[in-house]
Amino acid sequence: MKNARRVLVVDDETAIRRLLRAGLEGAGYAVVEASDGEAGLRQAATQAPELVVLDLGLPDTPGLRVLERLRQWSQVPVLILTVQDSEADKVALLDAGADDYLTKPFSVPELLARLRVLERHSRGERPEPVVQAGPLRIDLAGHLVERSGAPVKLTATEFDFLRVLALNLGKVVTQRELLKRVWGPNAVEHSHYLRIYAASLRKKLEADPAQPEWILTEPGVGYRLRG
């Protein structure tokens, strides 16, 4: 495919690679494959992919170590696939340089949506002054928020919280990053701030605050504004 965006898929499961190839090529990507970490690093060096999908459980080198080695010389966007669901593992991935992650089993449409977000960020695209997330309209410049066309009054801190999520639409923002950007570097240990303000925002912005559709929690990791 001429001028197709190149995606490197590093996964030891043949069935997963076939599934991803079919979905990615169907979406217009060119796919390069590797079945282990060392081959993945070689392909990353020689093929210059624009995106990497990296499985965490590789047979030769742990995926986290592959990511760390890749980050020594490349800032290519990396989406991690993992069966691990612990908070510590997810935070470690993001701290090591992962741009996003998906927990297996996953759907191909969700993976494609996550890759589109990573592409926009890698091109240095900034969200428009107005960010649309479902019924939510967030005017970043005007500090205005609407839900289904109706204005919603937010406090300054609530808006700052929402603004950080909107600037990273579709991506996980870690608890530490949110605390630092909204409350400052001295607040990074005060995770209870996040629970309080996320609950407050959901009361104002979600149809059912108990079952949020747009302001999503990644347990123990952070928050995501669904794009």
Q: Could you tell me which of 171, 175, 173, 195 has the C-alpha nearest to residue 187? A: 175
Q: Residue 40 has which token pair?
A: 């993945």
Q: Please report which confidence band the pLDDT of residue 124 belongs to, taking 50, 70 and 90 as the band edges.
A: low
The owner of tokens 């990507």 is: 29
| pLDDT at residue 65 greater than cutoff 70 | yes
Q: Mean pLDDT across the stretch 75-102?
A: 85
With contact defined as beta carbons under 8 Å apart, do 14 and 34 qualify? no
With bands split at pLDDT 50, 70 and 90, how would you rate the model's confidence at 205? Answer: very high
pLDDT at 181 (0 to 100): 84
Give the per-residue pLDDT at 17.
94
Average pLDDT over residues 196-219: 94
**Tens-digit pLDDT profile for residues 39-62:** 999 999 888 899 999 999 898 888
Question: In percent, how much of the chain has pLDDT > 70?
Answer: 96
Model confidence pLDDT, tens digit, residues 178-200: 888 888 877 778 888 899 999 99
pLDDT over 60 (residue 1)? no
Local confidence band at 16 (pLDDT 50, 70, 90 cut-offs): very high
From CA 40, how far away is CA 36, in angstroms rounded?
6
What spatial distance separates the first Cα and last Cα of the chain, rounded to whole Å?
A: 28
Judge contact between 71 and 97, C-beta under 8 A: yes
Beta-ladder partners of 78: 52
Tokens of 77: 């966007």
Q: What length does the chain have?
A: 227
Q: What is the chain's alpha carbon radius of gyration, rounded to the nearest angstrom?
A: 19
| pLDDT (0 to 100) of residue 13 | 92
Domains parsed from the chain with CATH numbers: 5-122 (3.40.50.2300), 130-225 (1.10.10.10)
- What is the per-residue pLDDT for 11? 95
C-alpha distances in Å from residue 111, one per residue of 22, 114, 152, 209: 13, 5, 32, 26
Q: What is the predicted pLDDT for the residue at 138?
A: 92
Identify the residue whose tokens are 């093929």: 47
pLDDT reported for residue 125: 53
Q: Which two tokens stand for residue 184?
A: 């400052």
Tell me what pLDDT residue 2 has: 57
Of 55 and 92, the structure prediction assigns the larger pLDDT to 55
CB atoms within 10 A of CB 73: 10
